[in-house]
Amino acid sequence: MFAPGCGMEKYQRFEGDDSICLIGAENFITPSMTAKALKHRQDHIKTVLFEQDRQLRFGKTDPIKICSVSQKSSEWASERAITIAKLVRSAVEDES
């Protein structure tokens, strides 16, 4: 369970229970979590492939743009990973 304001509020959802935070393989415990994880992954892949296709149609090759599109598309995952790392570090420090 995480205190309000810790930054994890938007990830603390598990079938209506806001006292649980899923951070790893737990995402695949329920069909709804599996579907959500799969949708994020599919949307990211589609976004990057769309940019690659757009460039091909215009006869361009811009790997920096593809990188930028990919980073923006996966920003939610990066933010989530940073927040989880901070929470884990805090928990480890609390145990010391």
Q: What pTM was estimated for this model as a whole?
A: 0.58
Contact 46, 61 (CB under 8 A): no
Contacts 24+ apart (CB under 8 A), 42-50: 43/73, 44/70, 44/73, 44/74, 47/73, 48/73
pLDDT band at 26 (very low <50, low <70, confident <90, very high): low
23: confidence class by pLDDT, cuts 50, 70, 90: low
> Which one has a higher pLDDT value, 24 or 52?
52
pLDDT category at 25 given cuts 50, 70, 90 is low
